[in-house]
A and B are shown apart, each in its own frame.
Chain A
Amino acid sequence: MDPQTYQSTGEMLRNLLTLAWLLPLAGFVLEVFAGYWSHRLSRAAAYSAVFCIAAGFVCSFAALMYWGHQTHWSALESHASPADHHDVLKYFSGTYYTLAEFGKLRIAIDYHIDSLTLVMFTMVTLIATMIHIFAIGYMSDELTEHYEDHQVHTAHGHFHRPGRFYMFFAYLSLFSFSMLGLVLAGNVFQVFVFWELVGVCSYFLIGFYFERKSASTAANKAFIMNRVGDFGFLIGLMILWTWFGTFQFNERVESDANGRDVVMPGLFDMLRDDHGNVTVLPANDHDSYARVFLADPGHSGALKHEGHKEGKTMPYFLLVVAGLGIFAGCVGKSAQFPLQTWLPDAMEGPTPVSALVHSATMVAAGVYLAGRFYPMFLPEVLLTIAYVGCITLFMAATIAVVATDIKRVLAYSTISQLGYMMLGIGVGGWTAGLFHLITHAFFKSLMFLCSGSVIHGCHHEQEMPKMGGLIRKMPITAYTMLVGVIAICGLAIPGISIFGIKIAFSGYHSKDAIIATAMTFSQLNGSHFLLFVVPLLGAGITAFYMFRLWFYTFIGQPRDHHVYDHAHESPVVMWAPLIVLSFFAAFVAFKGEAGSLFKLLLDTEPASVAHGLHDVGLAGDLNFPSHVGIEENHKAAGLYALLVAVMGTTLAYLFYGARVLNPAEVKRQFAGVHNFLVEKWQFDILYDAAFVRPVHVIAKWFVAFDRNVLDGFLHATARTAVSIATLDRRFDETVVDGLVNLVGNVTYDAGRSLRYVQTGRLRQYVMFIVLGVVGIWIVMRLFAA
């Protein structure tokens, strides 16, 4: 691509994505006032929100197609390997607006567009459009002047309030804008801004029924837990700002004072050379820290081609801390261990919110950032990410097995799947992790919407033990849900392929990729074998609890006839999105790793991933798998995963489908374990004891200190100030005002007397002309003489 085409392509992409990004903001502005502009019972707000996000999808999709056209779809060619064409820039970045400049330091609103951005944009806008449409049906009971909230009890019965239909869509639009901004962001500071914006949208949406105590508590919990993660994020930002002096991801060209072009490297360019390698200077006699070399702004050339040995360095451990800090933000947002407890509670929000914010997009933002920021992560950080993901996926999967609330099962499943993604990224499967992000977004939003449809059909009944046999009442929901369940379990028909294509849904491919990477990783690093065993086991548990959910809900005899009798299939506005999403859930990863989605993501993969890393890390004992290595294990890993998944499915069928085994029996047998799982591994209790209570105690001390010491001091100061002011006032009134009044009176009197000159007599006026001329002349003479 020649530079001119490159520039015009970049501008076109920027314009399209900017439009897609800003449309929901315009929608938000429109909708937030809709309550005043139109009738409360009007659906106009919903239509405007749907229009904005759908238009955004059109723009995003057009951008993706345009990008493909301009690059001749080089990303999809099978021989394309990311290392092959680094002569062409594969991303488009630039600045919208510079917020502030402090010498060389600069904060700006940037954009960064590559295939990951485009895929994320298309995915987010598509899913959001479906969920917006679904919500028109799901939220229709808000279209009333007297919404009765059955879960809020007051002294006079249930709580009544006007419906908030338009507000819901306004929040959704604001969220869409924030999420897209996060993806489009070209620097990590901007990511942080939108990170907080999606956070606050999530807060609004979880607390949508804020009159319910549970909802407002859940909203607070989500917000506060995220703050903990963001604290780490901020620390990471500070370290980066101090040592790198920029937040920008990639380099940017800037004119210096002499008009020459200077390349200002971004974070990634400063840390890594063209092959994605970091130059580490081990600790020696002079320096007790190991250090990392950084390229100087304006002299990036040295680092670009081969690692250099001179220039700026920063301590290795600080970069690790920075990476961990940023990852802490991801932990909070993606509900990873140990900050996972907010996500199940966030199910207090309306179901479309759970589908959009808390499964498909916002919680995946943590994974997205971990992927985007991958070049900044040192091997130690990656290992941490892998272990955190590993712990999370296992823990959440086990809890999901005993959960009975249909949405909570899905919430724990989400946490668990996010753990898979993190694990994938942590063990060096960059593309695998993000691949799973996209596929998961589709099938999990689908399942959430299905659960929404069930809840809507069952009149807000969420407990699975009260359902059963619903497939007869709501077939569309049941079958689309089944598509999602098969997808997430990773079921496939082994050995048979039609036209060389495996018969499998999207989840099979993406989970397969992660497990293959994990397997290769554990082969290379024998001591980390858990990183392979646990996800494999997790795959079985996933299959078990997902089919448990499906059998529980849709198969067999109804358990509660009251619920069953009133159940009904949802209206078309709700089931149509299910059909669309189930199509994507099944086929988005079509052809797996030979398919277009994987190839698209592969195009953005950081340079360091493809060939693997050998003997890296400070201790020099970590190895990361290369593409070739993963490929060798692919078949075996796929088989293992499939085997485990089939086992899980079978078990679930025996328990809940055929009802040959009795779950109550097992529950009694392992009462201790069951209780431990029902209590969510005791995390809420632990946090309450470890943080909440001590904070209360300390707060009491501070209140006492404040009352007795600080207030006393303040009061004394205030009294002194008042007495001085009184004195000052006396001085002011007598001396200063007196002087001013004196001057004022004198000038005023002078002015009054001047009035008499203006007599109004014409003869006098004309006289004055002559007198004036002669008078001035005489005065001039006298003066000059």
Chain B
Amino acid sequence: MPFSSLVDSLMQDTLGVSLPLFATELAICATIVLLLLFRLLNLDQRIPGAVLALAGSIAGLGLAVMQHLQYSQEADLVGQSVEIFTGLLIYDQFTIYLRIFLMLFLVLVVYLTMLGGIPDREDAPDFYVLLLGSTLGMLLMASANHLLIVFLAIEMTSVPSYAMVGFLKGRRQSSEAALKYVVYGAGAAGVMLYGISLLSGLLGTANLPELAQALTALGGADSALDQPSLWTLSLAILMVLVGVAFKLSIVPFHFWCPDAFEGASAEVAGYLSVASKGAAFALLVRFCLAMTGSAVPAGDLQTVFVHLGFGIGIIAAISATFGNLAAYTQTNIKRMLAYSTIAHAGYMLMAVAALLVILGSPDAPDGGAQRTEHAIRAVSGLLYYLVVYLFMNLGAFAIVAIIRNQTFSEQIEDYSGLVRQSPALAVCMLACMFSLIGMPPLGGFVSKVMVFASVFKSTEYYWPMWFILSAGVLNTVFSLIYYVNVLNYMFFKPPREHLEPVNVPLASAYGRYALLVTLPVFLLGVMVNRIDDVAYSASASLKSFSVPVVANHDNADPPRQSVRSTPAIPAPVEAATPVSGG
């Protein structure tokens, strides 16, 4: 092939295909450039950076929603995925779902920072450049199709977050938290990079779909993989997972989390707790599916995946337990919410564990006919959880920020008697807390049920998953205590006298914001199907599900179509998907 035609095809790929599908990210990039330019030309005195950032993020959200609408309007697009930028990124409904999730969250956070006055006008462009840059990294995480992008995206997410944690420059605590976060992040990144190099070295490629192929080739029935390299492989996978686990603040890679959250402002903490979680879970799901590939080979490799899944499950259970128990004695609400974040990451990780077990296990009920359906359910449960988590956690952090702006306190005991001063805020907080616990009829209940249902399904594939399930259920009970403790202060204790009373009526900007964020928590608990259908089709669009997942000794039954009105999973085409570039 002559070089010119190579360049032509590259141009065609980039300009004709990739860039239009990359519109959301481009909008963010453009906003960042504008922010910096305005700063340079002193235009930010006239147009505040916050407004610009809000406009940019709304534009990004609009573009993402348009992409979603395109999918929902054209039936033959459903389930299609496109590899863009010569296979570095992948564009499918899963990507779009996460894009909408992240952009919606970004809009809400930017609006919250506008209301709350962090950052001040002088620093605003810097702050929003960091915020948008970090979100850009997350968007890349959600659509990564290559180990290089995986690493780049995680770094791109992390580096601005370090700065954002330390953004309250005057506060010693803030700087300390930022430093801890940086060093810890660097350590985690190092480990991850090492894992990536091991993995691509072993398998000879860094492209995720190709990883699966290479694994299938290596670990076929005649197992070309000897024991030591098998263990090296598992170590490599583990190391890559560490990078993700750091972003997810999973035990034992969570140490940065309480310190960073306590040091950062509530807005930043809320941002870190939700957005990075969403992106990291998307990445984790993609990575895990790439590892298991379209067909899990029998033998040692298969047990590796089941064990990996179960191992992740155990870590998830430990995370949830640790997070919940450690939250008991916290007196600072942000620290408490940090531990709560760890616990929720644990719950969500259980869905990933269930996914791996379902895909990997040799003993499937019904001869594995429902395997794909169950796997899709596990992912869609996770996606639904993320949306609910967005609102309930952002709601909690937003209320913390609002109260901080009034009382300058973040101590739980200073929330005493809130219901008498600002009943609207107290009720919103009540809804968020109950949703975090998982009380019906709020969104937290539904999402937890979905995740636990997946874990329950996975027990049919691999019985030790019962332990994970019982740990999850038990943890729900544990978590009750510390959430209710906050409510106890807010509703039953008299207000503390030395503090400014919190005066936030529902009709104020703060009150409306709290309501805006809390209302979906109700709606997601009552009207499940709308979002769940979207989450389901997003999950079903993942490439690995487009081809039937068959363990080699199972009968190759095509996956049974689900009863619900979800897009049909395309019939099996070829065993391997075409590879473009890499």
A-to-B contact residues, CB < 8 Å: 744, 747-748, 750-752, 754-755, 757-758, 760, 762, 764-766, 768-773, 775-777, 779-781, 783-784
Contact = CB atoms under 8 A, between A and B. Distances in A.
B328 A769 contact: no
User: Looking at A747, A758, A773, which has the most chain B CB atoms within 10 Å of its CB?
Assistant: A773
Nearest to A755: B329
Most buried by A among B238, B246, B327: B238
Nearest to B238: A777
Contacts of A775: 252
A766 B183 contact: yes
Given A747-B478, A758-B258, A772-B252, A765 B325 contact: no
Q: Which 7 A-B pairs have the closest CB atoms?
A: A751-B328, A751-B325, A772-B252, A765-B255, A754-B326, A766-B187, A769-B187
Contacts of A760: 259
A748 B307 contact: no
A777 to B, nearest CB: 5
A772 B242 contact: yes
B191 interface: yes
Given A748-B481, A760-B259, A773-B238, 11 more contacts: A750-B325, A751-B324, A752-B329, A754-B326, A762-B180, A765-B256, A769-B187, A780-B308, A780-B311, A781-B231, A783-B311
Contact of B252 (A750, A752, A771, A781): A771
B315 interface: yes
Given A773-B239, A777-B234, A780-B311, A762 B326 contact: no
Nearest to A744: B481
Contacts of A751: 324-329
B235 interface: yes
A262 B294 CA distance: 51
A747 B242 CA distance: 29
A754 B322 contact: yes
B545 interface: no
Nearest to A752: B329
Interface in B208-260: 231, 234-235, 238-239, 242, 246, 252-253, 255-256, 258-259
14 contacts: A747-B328, A747-B478, A748-B329, A755-B326, A758-B326, A760-B259, A762-B180, A765-B184, A768-B252, A770-B187, A772-B252, A776-B311, A783-B307, A784-B304
B259 A748 contact: no
Nearest to B257: A758
B307 A769 contact: no
B188 A769 contact: yes
Contacts of B238: 773, 776-777, 780
Nearest to A783: B307
Contacts of A758: 255, 258-259, 326
Contacts of B326: 751, 754-755, 757-758
B302 to A, nearest CB: 12
B252 A784 contact: no
Contacts of B255: 758, 764-765, 768
B190 to A, nearest CB: 9
B250 to A, nearest CB: 10
Contacts of A784: 303-304, 307
A589 B93 CA distance: 72
B198 interface: no
Contact of A769 (B179, B184, B235, B259): B184
A775 to B, nearest CB: 8
Nearest to B190: A769
Contacts of B252: 768, 771-772, 775
Interface string B75-97: 00000000000000000000000
A753 to B, nearest CB: 9
Tell me what chain A mostly uses at the interface: helix, strand, loop, or mixed. helix
Contacts, number: 80
A772 B239 CA distance: 10
A672 B461 CA distance: 101
Nearest to A753: B325
Contacts of B327: 751
A777 B188 contact: no
A771 B259 CA distance: 20
B175 to A, nearest CB: 13
Nearest to A750: B325
A679 to B, nearest CB: 63
Contacts of A762: 179-180, 183-184
Contacts of B329: 748, 751-752, 755
Interface string B153-193: 00000000000000000000000000110011001100100
Contact of A747 (B235, B311, B325): B325
A295 B157 CA distance: 73
A768 B256 CA distance: 11
A781 B311 CA distance: 11
Nearest to B231: A781
Contacts of B322: 754
Contacts of B239: 773
A765 B235 contact: no
Contacts of A770: 187, 191
A780 B303 CA distance: 11
Nearest to A776: B238
Nearest to A779: B311
A762 B185 CA distance: 11
Given A744-B481, A777-B238, A784-B303, A752 B328 contact: yes
A776 B315 contact: yes
B337 to A, nearest CB: 15
B315 to A, nearest CB: 7
A125 B294 CA distance: 74
Nearest to B230: A784
Interface string B324-336: 1111110000000
A768 B250 CA distance: 12
A766 B190 CA distance: 11
Interface in B462-518: 478, 481
Contacts of A750: 325
Contacts of A752: 328-329
Contacts of A748: 328-329, 481
Contacts of A764: 255
Given A747-B328, A762-B179, A780-B238, A773 B187 contact: no
Interface string B413-449: 0000000000000000000000000000000000000
A755 B325 CA distance: 9
Contact of A773 (B242, B304, B307, B308): B242
A765 B259 CA distance: 11
B235 A777 contact: yes
A758 B342 CA distance: 13
Contacts of B256: 765
A765 B180 contact: yes
Interface in B305-359: 307-308, 311, 315, 322, 324-329
A765 B481 CA distance: 28
Contacts of B259: 758, 760
B234 to A, nearest CB: 7
Interface-centre pick from B184, B304, B315 (highest chain A CB count, 10 A): B184
Nearest to A743: B477
A46 B231 CA distance: 89
Contact of B242 (A744, A754, A769, A783): A769
B482 to A, nearest CB: 8
A353 B82 CA distance: 75
B158 to A, nearest CB: 14
A780 B307 contact: yes
Contacts of A769: 184, 187-188, 191, 242, 246, 253
A757 to B, nearest CB: 8
Interface in B275-311: 303-304, 307-308, 311
Contacts of B303: 784
Nearest to A764: B255
B509 to A, nearest CB: 27
B379 to A, nearest CB: 24
A748 B480 CA distance: 12
